[in-house]
Structure formats: C-alpha cells, structure tokens
Structure 1
Amino acid sequence: MIFRQLFDPASSTYSYLMASRRGGEALIIDPVLEKVDRYLQLILELDLKLVKAVDTHLHADHITGLGALRDKTHCTTVMGEQTKADVVSMRLSDNDKLTIEGLSLDVIYTPGHTDDSYSFVLPDRVFTGDTLLIRGTGRTDFQNGDPRAQFESIFGRLLKLPDTTLVYPAHDYKGDTVSTIGEEKAFNPRLQVRSADEYADLMNNLKLSNPKMMDVAVPANMKIGMDHHDVDSRGWSLSVRQVFDLMGRPDVTLIDLREDSERQRHGVIPTSLHFPYPALAESIGAGGVLHELGVSTTKRLVFYCAFGERSAMAVQAAHDAGIASACHMEGGIDAWKKANGPVTH
C-alpha cells in the first residue's frame, strides 16, 4: 500500500494520502486548502488518480481542500451524513464502507468533538479525526460537541479495536505522528476516567480559547458545493420535473453514477442504468458503452447521482468526449425523493 502522512504546520493538521498501488486510485483524508498544490504534485509523482477526498468532520481550524481538489481532479468529495456542508458528493453513515480500488475502510460514526465526526478503519490502523488524539481528545465545547457522546465514541467504539491498531489523528500539537490504541488506553491522561460523568466534567472545564481560524473556517467549510453555472448556462441541467416527464421515452436513458452502497440504501430510479462515477471515463470514451449510446444511437443520456455534484462533472466530461445529448438532473436522487419521484430497491 502507498501511504503518506502530510502535515500543515499552520493548523497542525495531518492529512493522509493512500492507494493500494502505483498507477491506481487514491483517496486523501482531511486535506488542507493551502496544501492542495503539494498534494497534486505528490499524486503526480506517485502516478496516482485521486478519486475521493474525505473530511472526518467539519473543521474549525483550517479551510478544507475538498472543494479545490474536486475542481482540479473531478474527485468525489465525501463526509458523514450529518455534515452541515452545503453539498458533498457522497455522504456516509455508520458501518458503511469507504472504498477505492484495492482498499476498503470501515466507517465508524464517532460524534462528540462535533456532531458529524467520523473515523475510518483499515485492518491495522484507524484515522480518528479529532475524536481521539495522541495523548489527548478533541474538545467538545462547540459545533454541537458532546463529551458524553465522545466518551461513548472512544470507549464504546475506538478502544474496542485491537491494542496494536495504529492511531492516526487529524491534529497533533507536540510533534507526535502516530500512536496505538494500546498506548492511548495506558497513557492518554483524558482516558484515565471511570465514567462518562467524570469524562464530561473533565471536558467541560478545559476553558480553551476558540481556534484562531474558527470564524473564517467554519463558514467556508459549510460552502464547498460546486458552482454549476457553466453547466446550467449551456442547457445541460434538467429539473426533477423535467426528468420525470422524460421517463419512459425510448430515446432517453437515465444513468446512475452512485456506488452500490448508496443505491442499496437510497434506492434507484426505475429503468436507470448503473455506471459508477469512478469508471465513467472508460464508458464515455471512444468505444465505451455510453459513448455508443450517446453518439451512435443518439439517445439522450441523463446522469444523476446523490446530490448533483458527480452528475455535473460527468455531463461536462461527456460533452468533452463528444456526447452532445448528455445532461444531468439537478439535486440528484435527494431532490428526486423529496419530489416524491418513484424509487425501487
């Protein structure tokens, strides 16, 4: 496995780039906006293709790199389903899988630092965000933090992992880079408590000042949705009602870009075909199935995804590939279901 731990000294943030092999798909966890060019250079040097950019939670001490990485690489942005961010391409929930080619991370909902905090687990390591730090834990006094929820996230979930599990947090302010679950059980001073009440009392009396970037970072990180102006102005966007009116026509094909786990949880629009977004380039290129559908048969291709992010990027790519009939459904299946559009499971 290719694995890189990257550091932003201004915010003391760790970001993690990983892939199963050279030339393969990659994901990055907790990227920082100011370091995006560095990430892209490293991705180029390692011959990787960034397909997912993930935030463990809505950060208050730096501006996320999710939006910039999406705009520059067309990757999928990922956060937990509780996030207050306006639009991310994919939203995960507890016990989901975060997957790329050759790698699958278990998804654990670990609220407490914030109400949208998640951790991601590989067989030998866990990425804990700000829930569990090295010899510390994330503060719980803003962004709907809850010390009792954090106690359960740590003691009920994270500390149940094997003692040898490597702990990779989102921040460290002392220069430590990695720990283990066993070390934190033994030496983390905030974990030497006997009850949730004792932990809550400890966390409620830290009397910490707010992060320096909080007033800037939180609003910025809530507004990371894609600007669809170019897609809309070119007439490549359809409303849910327009798509509903097109259903059943023989010259129209709906293309679902979501992953299997999303389809299983949220259902699919009847008669739609499944072409997962990470594999789209092959399908729309010359000789690909969607290229043949859109060019040789002149079918109108209507892309949709979860919230309209991946489909907006897909329609741009399809037109670049010469599929002039491609368009996408605004708002994705989220908007479709809110409008009571038919869904099958």
Structure 2
Amino acid sequence: MIFRQLFDSASSTYTYLLGDSGEALLIDPVYEQAPRDLALLQELGLRLVATLDTHVHADHVTGAWRLRQRTGSRIGISATAQASETDLPLHHGDRIAFGRRHLEVRATPGHTSGCLTYVLDDQSMAFTGDSLLIRGCGRTDFQQGSPQQLFASVHEQILSLPPACLLYPAHDYRGITVTSVAEERRYNPRLGGDVDVGDFTGHMNNLHLPHPKLMAVAVPANLRCGKPEGDAPTDTPSWAPLTLRFSGVWEIEPMALLEHLKEVQIVDVREAPEFIDRLGHLEGARLVPLSQLNERMGEFDRAQPIVAVCRSGVRSAQASVLLTKAGFGQVANLAGGMLRWKIEGFPVECDPA
C-alpha cells in the first residue's frame, strides 16, 4: 500500500493519500493544494477513486469538487452533513474500497454532528479528523457539537482500536505528524487517563475560543463540497507555478516571481508615495494605481503575463480580478505583496520610476 501525509501550511491541515493496485483515496484535500495532489497522483501512477472529508471544515475549503472536476473521483462525506454535490453520503459501518484495500467508516460526532473517522481494514491506522487530535481534540461549540457526544465517540470508536493503531489527525499546529491509540489513552490531557465525561464537559464548555477566521466562507463552501459560486478556473497556467485561491485569484509566490521576473509585466497598483517608500518596488514595475487601472489597461501587452503587486496583496488581488474580467488571460497576484517580498529578502528599488 502507498501512503503519503501531505500538509497545507496556511490552515495546518493534513491531507492523506492512500493507494493500492493503481487506485487511490484522498482524505481531507485542500482546495488550493489540488494541483499538488494531482501531480503526486500522476507521478505515483494512481487513479483517484474518491475524496473523503472527515467533516464540514470551518478553517479551509475542501478540494473535493475541484479534484472531481479533473479526475472524475467521487466525493464522500457524512450523510448527516447534508452537503450538496456529494456522491457518497456516508454512514457508520460503510466501506470505501481502493484497490484490494478498504477503509471502514466510523461515525464520531461531537466536534460537529457529521464527523467521521476512517479506519484501515487491518486497523493499523485511522484518520480521526478533528474528533481526536494529537494530545487534544476539536472544539465542541458550533455545528451541532457536543462534549458528551465527543467523549463517547472517541472512547467507543477510536480509543477502542488496538493500542498499536496509528492515529492521523486532520490538523496539528506544532508539526507533530502522528500518534497512537496507546499514547492517547495514556497522555491525552482531555480524553486520556482517568478523565471522565464530567471532567471533559467542564473543560470543553469553558474554552471560550474565537471562531475560525475563515468560518463564514469555509462552512458554506464545504456544504457544497468546495464548489465555488459561479464559474472558477480549474486548470493551472503553465507560464509560472501558481496557486489558485478559492476566490478564483491565481497567486505567485515571491521566489517563483523572482525566477520569472524578466518574463512578466509587473503592475504595481499602490499610490505614488507608496511606490518609493521604505518597501520600495520591484525592478521594472509599472506604477498604475488601482483607481486608474481600468483607464490604463491599454498600456499592457495582452500576450505577456501580468503580475499585480501592492503592499499586502489585497488591492492587487482586486486588480487581478479586474484584469481577468477585461480579457487578460495570464494574470497572477503576488502572494503577500511587497511586505512578504521584503521579509524574504528579495531585491527592491526605491527611486521614482
């Protein structure tokens, strides 16, 4: 069996690839990472059979719909979630096959009402989503969460697995990649040892955590299995390594732009004083404030890629949308803007253009 653990740094999300006999599953794919996942599948010679989400995520948008568009894979998520675009509404006890292997579906509600844990056929590993994290667990204060339900789910469906079973969560914020049933039974401060349901409930009801920053966007999107509202591009441009954000804006990382600087048009959409301030500007950049962009699009070469730049990437994202709507076919936004460019130590110019 082929197994890979992949990571999305923006949301600290783990995506898991399992493959056997030419077929593969992806657990908890991330929208922006679909090109990475597709490239890995191709290199390993695997056909994606299905994507499986452990629950309706609140901190990132799933890549399920986007991957289905490219590969024809089926989308699996808990039937309880009542998500549109689902091909496999999953229930406790279901099996998802890939090659000669399969995953068993276990319902583990409590973090949300539709949480699932996926257990490999020989019970050597399980994918716990946010129901059980490494030395922790997911919160229980939204999406029909319940501390009492989560306590029962973890003890009855996860910690009841063999002690040597390896547990892989949907997230870790410290860089730890895996744990085991034996470790969590003994060392999990919320759910292990002598902790009872009263201890756990009292703890979880007094966390007072802020809601995830992307919750208002992610939850509705994930109830559509990651399908954007309206049309969104899905094919990665070939002129540079780009990342597609869920907003539909392509982004280029500073290092990639540095490598392609001589091949693109740089359009800086800040105001004139910002162009020569301490952040400076990129070599060869053309200053076109966002307020003037619509009137000055005739200055750009439609056959050459354009990278829009601003201080933080917000105004330039808007510029990217405007340029794309105006018919420019090769447009990207500089991820993080001049702030990120300067932090990473790349060269700038500070003299007036």
Q: Which of these residues, 110, 113, 116, is aligned with residue 112 of structure 1?
A: 110
What is the aligned residue count? Answer: 227
The unaligned stretches of length 5 or more in structure 2 are 231-353
Residues 246-302 of structure 1: per-residue CA shift (max 9 Å, x gap): xxxxxxxxxxxxxxxxxxxxxxxxxxxxxxxxxxxxxxxxxxxxxxxxxxxxxxxxx
- 1:43/1:50 contact within 8 Å kept: yes
Displacement, 1:219?
1.0
Question: Which residue pairs with 2:224 in the alignment?
Answer: 223
Residues 58-103 of structure 1: per-residue CA shift (max 9 Å, x gap): 0000000001001111110111110132230111111111112211
User: Are positions 1:82 and 2:83 aligned together?
Assistant: no
Q: Alpha carbons of 1:210 and 1:226: their partners in 2 closer, same or farther (altered >3 Å)?
A: closer
| Partner-residue secondary structure (3-state), 2:11 | coil
Matches of 1:3 and 1:19 in 2, distance apart?
Answer: 6
Question: Which residue pairs with 2:198 in the alignment?
Answer: 197
- 1:52/1:76 contact within 8 Å kept: yes
Matches of 1:15 and 1:7 in 2, distance apart?
Answer: 6
- Runs (4+) of structure 1 exceeding 4 A deviation are none
Q: Which amino acid aligns with 2:147?
A: P
CA RMSD of aligned residues (A): 1.7
Residues 118-157 of structure 1: per-residue CA shift (max 9 Å, x gap): 0010120000000000010111111110000000001122
Matches of 1:208 and 1:110 in 2, distance apart?
Answer: 22
- 1:113/1:150 contact within 8 Å kept: yes
Matches of 2:195 and 2:168 in 1, distance apart?
Answer: 25
Question: Which residue pairs with 2:11 in the alignment?
Answer: 11
Structure with greater helix share of residues = 1
Matches of 2:165 and 2:8 in 1, distance apart?
Answer: 24
Identity percentage of aligned residues: 48
Displacement, 1:197?
2.0
Displacement, 1:193?
4.6
The 5 Å alignment of 1:1-345 reads 1-21=1-21, 24-122=22-120, 123=122, 124-191=124-191, 192-224=193-225
Displacement, 1:226?
7.0
| Partner-residue secondary structure (3-state), 1:99 | strand
Matches of 2:224 and 2:114 in 1, distance apart?
Answer: 16
The unaligned stretches of length 5 or more in structure 1 are 230-345
Q: Which amino acid aligns with 1:2?
A: I
Matches of 2:48 and 2:221 in 1, distance apart?
Answer: 23
Q: State TM-score, norm by structure 1.
A: 0.64
Matches of 1:64 and 1:193 in 2, distance apart?
Answer: 36
- 2:61/2:226 contact within 8 Å kept: no
- 1:19/1:102 contact within 8 Å kept: no
Displacement, 1:225?
7.9
Matches of 2:49 and 2:69 in 1, distance apart?
Answer: 12
Matches of 1:150 and 1:226 in 2, distance apart?
Answer: 29
